[in-house]
Amino acid sequence: EIVLSQSPGTLSLSPGERVTLSCRASQSVNNAFLAWYQQKPGQAPRLLVHGAANRATGIPVRFSGSGSGTDFILTINRLEPEDFAMYYCQQYGSSPYTFGQGTKLEIK
């Protein structure tokens, strides 16, 4: 089973800032089958990025993903108030699919 480790656990930032979230895999993720999800309190997660670098339908261009192998990054340029939430990475290249433990992005 591939273990995903996200860092940092919590980030405190202000609107307008740029943020990078990290996701490290215990072994290489097949075909860069790595996704990022955003979850707000009381809501289901929402797909942001798939295939490590492809924005999902309707996701603003300020969200971008990168990486390959074992190291992946989600970047959010110019944080908007609605971006403060939990973020999870997930690999779906090997079974069982696994999620990282999440990074909480909070308003400073």
* Residue whose CB is less far from other proteins, 84 or 88: 88
Is the Cβ of residue 39 or residue 77 nearer to other proteins in the bound state?
Answer: 39
Smallest distance, Å, CB 56 to other proteins? 7
Contacts with other proteins by CB under 8 A lie at 1, 31, 33, 35, 37, 44-47, 50-51, 56, 88, 90, 92-93, 95-102
Q: In sequence order, what are the beta bridge partners of 72? A: 23, 67
- What is each CA distance from 59 to 42, 47, 81, in whole angstroms? 20, 9, 15
The SS3 assignment for 83 reads helix
